[in-house]
Amino acid sequence: MMAKRVFVQAALGLLLAAAPGFTADKVLGLETGYAYLASARDVAPQVGSGVLANLYFGFEIGDNPRSSSLLSLALGYAVFPYDTGLAALHDAVFGLEYAHTFFYGKPVGLMLDGAMMADLLVQAGGTGYAFGHRTRLGFGPVFRLSRRDSLALQVTYNFIIFPHLDQPTDLFHIPGVVLRYQFRF
**What is the torsional sign of CA 10, 13, 15, 17?**
negative
User: How many Å apart are CA 81 and CA 78, to the nearest integer?
Assistant: 10
pLDDT band at 3 (very low <50, low <70, confident <90, very high): low
Q: Is the pLDDT of residue 11 over 80?
A: no
**Nearest alpha-carbon partner for 25 in 2, 74, 58, 64:** 58
Contact of 121 with 132, CB cutoff 8 Å: yes
**Confidence (pLDDT) at 61:** 84
The full set of domains in the chain, from first to last, is 24-184 (2.40.160.20)
Side-chain-side CA neighbours of residue 27 (13 Å): 30
Q: Is the pLDDT of residue 95 over 60?
A: yes
Helix (H, G, I), strand (E, B) or coil at 14: helix
pLDDT band at 2 (very low <50, low <70, confident <90, very high): very low
Pick 42 or 174 by higher pLDDT. Answer: 174
User: How many Å apart are CA 115 and CA 133, to the nearest integer?
Assistant: 10
Any idea what DSSP says for residue 47? Answer: B
User: How many Å apart are CA 96 and CA 45, to the nearest integer?
Assistant: 28
Tell me whether residue 182 is exposed, middle or buried, using C-beta atoms within 10 angstroms of its C-beta: 0 to 12, 13 to 18, 19 or more.
buried
Q: Which of 59-63, 112-116, 179-183 has the lowest mean pLDDT?
A: 59-63
